[in-house]
Structure 1
């Protein structure tokens, strides 16, 4: 293990090179740089690797890239491979369409606790604003500024509170939010040993709750999820979801029902296939 690194940021991606380019840039702005990046690529074409290679050359961050052949939505498989590639004892999971605020890693690291995992959220940008965001706007952090967003057409809503920089306000909102703390793959973190203990993601699962299920097994195994949705901030770039698939979602629900009913803590379809 790299002694100075405190976390591995695992970013899942599939054929969104323009978005990934911006997301990676947001990690070069982090206030705490004691992390490695692992790109978990579920079968993208060459453009994604080009983005990763260019970022590696231009930034002084440790970046690992892992790719698998495109065989439909197989995110759980590539995430399990990424966990195996990680060189630290703390894992932060996010997606290649979520731009991290400059204190994102710092706040995940500051809030980590033994026997706990952290449950964050994201703030969804409109399609028009998503296309306005560029590296200069990430550098200035304007895409996390509610006044800038409203001025550019983002609808006013309570959700803009997700962008607060007030520590007191974020603590109060984390405490009182009705949203349950769960494992949401776009913004969650845990100790590597805790996700290995449940054998990682269930590789039978495709799109729809596949991240929630690993969290449910971790909870069954005694891990408590803490709410940090107002502290670990990222904004989500707009895109379509062509991989949504009703039969896969139904199957996923069946697996999650069984996990709940039997209080399952370990999947046979995870990292170790014994």
Structure 2
């Protein structure tokens, strides 16, 4: 890859201001900070707005707050709106429950390559560990002690090796948009997330289906670019069956360009 692209980190959030604060602080203290952070808020309470405002005042990194009214879980829509407002040529996706390791941005940039998107992995923190866990608590020793107590899952993802394990594939297994990156040009070329997806689940897998049809391959990276998932109750999933049907329809179609995507926000700019 020629040169270092400008990086935009997009963090989705809904009514978890304290978790959001911890995640943003993780990105503000990266070994290679992003050029901008976009808070993609799917309609939240006043406390979230105050938290974002406080973060903006103390940050050396530009933080933009993109908001929509809450009308059910609409992660696809708010991510499209945020990415349409981004100025970076390279996008890293995160969520308000995923604290990055110190080198996450650097790792994604190091392995960014035309023709690929990157899938990172996560450590799952239990409720007790998550209560006070911050970016500054990322420690192999502490995490291992919590792991042997049954309070941490996927501990191996916390291990950093000198050279990562990279698998090239076109699989849908393990697709998670809380630790994913791609070139903005590729995202726009397939019209971004499909906003027909309402409610939790499968909008990220469907995006990847169309990435593959567009010609991209997946770089699955382990032992670098890890994130730490904070415990919370599951989102309501009554629409999951419908979303699975949308995913299956996309798999069976030939076109990589979705009809209800990011283009409407790009035209409005």
* TM-score (structure 2 length as normaliser): 0.89
The DSSP-based 3-state class of the residue aligned with 2:117 is: strand
**Taking structure 1 as reference, are residues 158 and 77 closer, same or farther at Cα in structure 2, changes over 3 Å only?**
closer
Q: Does 1:252 align with 2:246?
A: no
User: Which residue pairs with 1:224 in the alignment?
Assistant: 217
> In 2, distance between residues paired with 1:151 and 1:221?
44
SS of the aligned residue for 1:228 comes to: strand
Match in the other structure for 1:149: 143
**Distance in 1 between the 2:77 and 2:219 partners?**
26
Are residue 33 (structure 1) and residue 33 (structure 2) matched?
yes
Determine if the alignment matches structure 1 residue 163 to structure 2 residue 158: yes
1:62-81 to 2 correspondences below 5 Å: 62-81=62-81
User: 1:265 and 2:260 equivalent?
Assistant: no
Gaps of 5+ in 1: none
Q: Which residue of 1 aligns with 2:189?
A: 197
Shift of 1:229: 3.6
Q: Which moved more, 1:13-22 or 1:145-154?
A: 145-154
Query: Equivalent residues in 2 for 1:92-103 (5 A)?
Result: 92-103=92-103
Is 2:126–2:151's contact at 8 Å kept on the other side of the alignment?
Answer: no
Runs of 4+ in 1 over 3 A off after TM superposition: 174-177, 179-183
Alpha-carbon shift at residue 133 of structure 1 (Å): 1.3
- Deviation of the 1:4 alpha carbon: 8.6
Equivalent residue, structure 2, for 1:214: 207
Cα distance, 1:176 vs. partner? 9.7
1:127 — aligned with what? Answer: 127
Contact persistence 1:23–1:100 (CA under 8 A): yes
More deviation, 182-191/6-15: 182-191
- Native 8 Å contact 1:120 1:230 kept in 2: no
Q: Deviations over 1:222-268 (max 9, x none)?
A: 011110143111100000023222xx211111111111112330110
Residues 181 and 225, structure 1, Cα contact 8 Å, conserved in 2: no
More strand by share: 2
Per-residue CA shift, 1:124-145, capped at 9, x if unaligned?
10100001314xxx23xx33x2
CA RMSD of aligned residues (A): 2.3
Contact 1:5 1:34 (C-alpha < 8 Å) held by counterparts: no
Q: Is 1:185 aligned with 2:180? A: no
Count matched residues: 260
Q: 5+ residue gaps in structure 2?
A: none
3-state DSSP class of the match of 1:52? helix
Return the TM-score normalized by structure 1. 0.88
